Amino acid sequence: MKTPKVTARAHTNIALVKYWGKADEELIIPQNNSLSLTLDHFYTDTTVQFDPTLTADQFTLNGQAQKTTKITKFLDIIRQMAASQLFARVESTNHVPTMAGLASSASAYAALALAGSKALGLDLNSKDLSRLARRGSGSACRSIYGGFVEWQKGDSDQTSYAVPLVENLDWDLKMIAIVVNDKQKKIASRAGMQTVVHTSPYYSAWVKRSKEDLLALKQAIAEKDFTQLGKIAEGNAMCMHALNLSATPHFNYFEAESLKAMQLVEQLRDQGLECYYTMDAGPNVKVICQGKDLKAIVDSLSQEFSNEQLLVASAGPGAEILEIKNSERN
């Protein structure tokens, strides 16, 4: 008998204190804690159904059949938890450019963790969902929750998971994603992290700096100090990208348009419009600002970038079930 067909939605998150490097590659346990903001604009919808007539997992993304290697490895974890050997049909729709440094893997694996576990009858609490999502993509553990979220690195599968800090923001924060390139990035995050951890002479300094940034950012959030939040996020992002430049072989995610966007943000700040940038493993720049300044900042950016390139997001919700359809007997 087929399992229920379960559809879940999860939103992306953008780290303000970054995760960049693993202490355990297999379990995806990070070297340092990280802190993110879940965004409402970018999300993944995933439908999962386990079917005894299938002889292998099937996976479609945005209507196109995909290789199932990574998905099957992740589903194997869920199957083991549920003592099941059924293969699954997985259908995902990304409302975010895939593998372009806009955290599509975070929303993808958070949605898959929720839909897949529910389809096999597992009723996981948020902590265990976060642990499960982490096994697919580290940052996915944070997308289980909305608002500000901290991933506590832990030192084992049991102790590495995300916790919510402020799920419902009463603070009018905005993030403008400047999409300079929505194509797949040339260096995957996983490969980039490995190179940095093993070869950058500055990696231990990064871990130390991130611990300091985390404490300062949590204080800024508690005090609703936007200036401190912006400075910490921008500085932490540039430290992360400096690691890439110091690795062997060195690499970077910057494109000419990325640098132009960062310079524009700095110019706006000089003109009295307070905004800050952050970047993940990809060329796209995210601009952090307050709602009161949003229109003026977007108006200025739109002189250099098209409206299609400027995507505005607010704080978003945690992962949720959208629909459960009970199967019919074969």
- Name which of 200, 276, 171 is nearest 234 in CA terms: 276
Mean pLDDT of 12-27: 96
Kindly state whether residue 222 falls inside one of the protein's structural domains. Answer: yes
Do residues 130 and 70 both lie within one domain?
yes
pLDDT band with cut points at 50, 70 and 90 for residue 137? very high
Question: Using CA atoms, how far apart are residues 223 and 245, in angstroms rounded to an integer?
Answer: 34
Mean pLDDT of 302-321: 96
Do residues 193 and 158 both lie within one domain?
no
Question: Using CA atoms, how far apart are residues 318 and 107, in angstroms rounded to an integer?
Answer: 10
For 222-250, how does the pLDDT look when each residue is reduced to its tens digit (9 = 90+)? 999 999 999 999 999 999 999 999 999 99
Do residues 23 and 164 both lie within one domain?
yes
Q: What is the pLDDT of residue 187?
A: 87
CATH number at residue 47: 3.30.230.10
**pLDDT of 185 over the 90 cut:** no
**pLDDT of 183 over the 90 cut:** no
Question: Using CA atoms, how far apart are residues 110 and 183, in angstroms rounded to an integer?
Answer: 22
Q: What is the pLDDT of residue 97?
A: 64
Kindly state whether residue 330 falls inside one of the protein's structural domains. Answer: no
Angstrom CA distances, 2 to 68, 117, 119, 227, 329, stand at 20, 14, 10, 53, 7
**pLDDT of 329 over the 70 cut:** no
**pLDDT of 265 over the 90 cut:** yes
Q: What is the pLDDT of residue 104?
A: 87
* Tokens 């404490």, residue located: 215
> Could you give the percent of the chain with pLDDT greater than 70?
97
Question: Using CA atoms, how far apart are residues 173 and 179, in angstroms rounded to an integer?
Answer: 19
Do residues 152 and 178 both lie within one domain?
no
**pLDDT of 181 over the 90 cut:** no
**pLDDT of 330 over the 50 cut:** no
Mean pLDDT of 157-183: 94
Rg of the Cα atoms in the chain: 20
Kindly state whether residue 293 falls inside one of the protein's structural domains. Answer: yes
Do residues 58 and 146 both lie within one domain?
yes
Q: How many domains does the chain have?
A: 2
Mean pLDDT of 49-68: 97
Residue-number span of the structural domain to which 136 is assigned: 5-169+321-325
CATH number at residue 247: 3.30.70.890
